[in-house]
Amino acid sequence: MTNTDNELFGVVPIIPTPFTDNEEIDEDALRSLIDFAIDGGIKAVCLPAYASEFYKLTDDEKLQVVRVAVERAAGRVKIVAQSNHPSLKVAIKLAQANVQAGADVISLAVPRIFSLPENSLKAYLSEFLQSIPNTPVLIQDFNPGGSSISVGFIKELMDENPNFKYLKLEEPLCAPKFAQIIQATNDKIGLFEGWGGLYMLELVPIGIRGVMPGLAVADILQKIFTLRSSGEDTKAFELFERVMPQIFFSLQNMELFHYAEKELLIARGVLSNSIARKAAYIPDPSSISYIRELNQRILDIVNDEKFAIRPVPVENSLY
């Protein structure tokens, strides 16, 4: 890795939004989630993103969770503040407020509600980047209807905006594109893989900076990332193969992911409920049983001394 300007490396988990019984943001639980990330050796966290149910939060609530996270982190972990909005005007307001609150990095998802040509996307992203010129920005692109932004687009955006530091892409068969981006940008853009870390073992040797999964398995994926990066491939694959069934099953549906993620955080002694704001996925009895079984397998991993993952306190685990 040649780029010393990029400071985000390894796993940057998405912090879920915890709710009370009446679906209000539970600030105390959010503080516990930040502590859990720090205790797991995580160096940076991101919120509120898709895995935080950002699309169910008001703009004030989006700013609220960032403020709470920044205050709780107190410099112990970097806060990547997602500032998504299809309206550029609103996205800029969110980003500038998050910078004022003390966020270390601002993240923005490429607007994909409707198909837009790249010149439209470039106008949107360029103005956004220029609105916070002294703050590093992570751009995320997940395009279910087609490919993500092109290599040439990424290079132009980087050349024109020095604060464009990181890029998260979520698409299958992306290794060749990641390699092309690294070459075209001279490794000046820190690349992250999303989608739960599904492709991480393929992409680590290419030179990605890290992955951005859910919080509940972040410490395990950090271990895998470290093993793979240091050439301990057999150990990396062994651990990856054990954690992947839970990740793969939960990512069949984003709302199912919220349930499985929060249930696992309950099992790991961090949350007290798995409430997601409605509309939320209501799992059938078979799914509930299978998720519980998959989550128990995660607990087995963290309690397996050979993997050196922090164990689950017996008195805290509800499983």
User: Could you read off the pLDDT of 97-156 as tens digits, one per residue?
Assistant: 999 999 999 999 999 999 999 999 999 999 999 999 999 999 999 888 888 999 999 999
pLDDT value at position 312? 57
Q: Is pLDDT of 317 > 50?
A: no
For residue 127, give the nearest of 185, 87, 165 by alpha carbon.
Answer: 87
For residue 135, give the nearest of 168, 157, 161, 109 by alpha carbon.
Answer: 161
pLDDT value at position 117? 94
User: What's the pTM?
Assistant: 0.94
pLDDT value at position 315? 47
For 269-311, give the DSSP string.
TS-S----PSS-----HHHHHHHHHHHHHHHHHHT-GGGTPPP
> Each residue of 225-240: b (16+ CB within 10 Å) or e?
bbbbbeeeeebbeebb
Dist. CA 197–CA 232, nearest whole Å = 18
Residue 219: Cβ-neighbour burial (10 angstroms; 0-12, 13-18, 19+)? buried
Token pair for 307: 């993997």
Dist. CA 296–CA 224, nearest whole Å = 19
pLDDT value at position 318? 38
Q: Is pLDDT of 28 > 60?
A: yes
Q: Is 212 annotated as a binding residue?
A: yes
- Give 289's pLDDT tier (boundaries 50, 70, 90): very high
Sign of CA dihedral 269, 273, 277, 281: positive
Mean pLDDT of 280-296: 97
pLDDT value at position 313? 54
Q: Name residue, tokens 């290419």.
A: 206
Q: Is pLDDT of 233 > 50?
A: yes
For the chain, which domains are there? 10-307 (3.20.20.70)
- Give 3's pLDDT tier (boundaries 50, 70, 90): very low
Q: Is pLDDT of 314 > 80?
A: no
Mean pLDDT for the chain overall: 94
- Give 232's pLDDT tier (boundaries 50, 70, 90): very high
Mean pLDDT of 188-203: 94
Q: Is pLDDT of 208 > 90?
A: yes
Share of the chain above pLDDT 70, in %: 95
Q: Is pLDDT of 2 > 70?
A: no
pLDDT value at position 1? 32
Among 239-243, 273-277, 313-317, whose mean pLDDT is lowest? 313-317
For 55-85, write each residue's pLDDT tens digit. 999 999 999 999 999 999 999 999 999 999 9
- Give 7's pLDDT tier (boundaries 50, 70, 90): low
- Give 224's pLDDT tier (boundaries 50, 70, 90): very high
Q: Is pLDDT of 50 > 90?
A: yes
